[in-house]
Amino acid sequence: MTAPCPGRKPSGAVRLALAAALLFAAARPVGLLAATTQRVVADWRTGLGLYGFDPVAYFADAQPELGRPDLEYDFAGVIWRFHSEGNRAAFMERPDVYLPRFGGYDPLGITRGVATPGHPEQWLIVDGQLFLFHTAAARTQFAANPREIIAAAEAKWPEVESPLVP
């Protein structure tokens, strides 16, 4: 291995690229990279909705449960995984009931006009709808006044959703 040259610094372009990479990495939850150009949040590497968590489990088990690779269903251009056959059957019969509201984007981000992917372990069910949040702080803020934030997000959603790819 060649010894580093003393006093030699990376070029401006290299420093800029490194800084951008660090900022990107720091801004994302560990292991969660989602496409923010899709109407439904999906892991850009695998195509999995909810990063492989079972959407029905939030309602049936009141907690997130990882789905199984052998229990998948392709819906809305996204692959959904399920913890059990019953959960998959329930989703197939009524996906509108179990899909995360706003495609899994954080409703607080939507109120600001930004499609911010929610994290599957930061969630709440309000009025029979599943909401995901980018951070625990966003979840707490939403929980303090959910109906007002939902109304604001509903009003802003068409503007946020329109540039997203179906």
In a domain, 43, yes or no: no
Instruction: Indicate the number of domains in the chain.
Output: 1
In a domain, 111, yes or no: yes
Cα Rg of the chain (Å, integer): 19
Model confidence pLDDT, tens digit, residues 71-106: 999 998 899 999 999 999 999 999 999 999 999 999
In a domain, 42, yes or no: no
Q: Looking up tokens 């372009």, which residue turns up?
A: 13
**pLDDT tops 50 at residue 48:** yes
Look up residue 30 and give its two tokens: 């560990």
In a domain, 6, yes or no: no
33 three-class SS? coil
**pLDDT tops 50 at residue 164:** yes
Model confidence pLDDT, tens digit, residues 8-25: 444 444 343 334 333 333
Residue range of the domain that includes 57: 50-161
In a domain, 81, yes or no: yes
Quote the pLDDT of residue 159.
Answer: 94
Nearest-10 crossing angle of helices 136-144, 146-161 = 120
Q: Are strands 68-75 and 78-82 parallel, antiparallel or unpaired?
A: antiparallel
In a domain, 98, yes or no: yes
Q: What is the pTM for the complete model shown?
A: 0.77
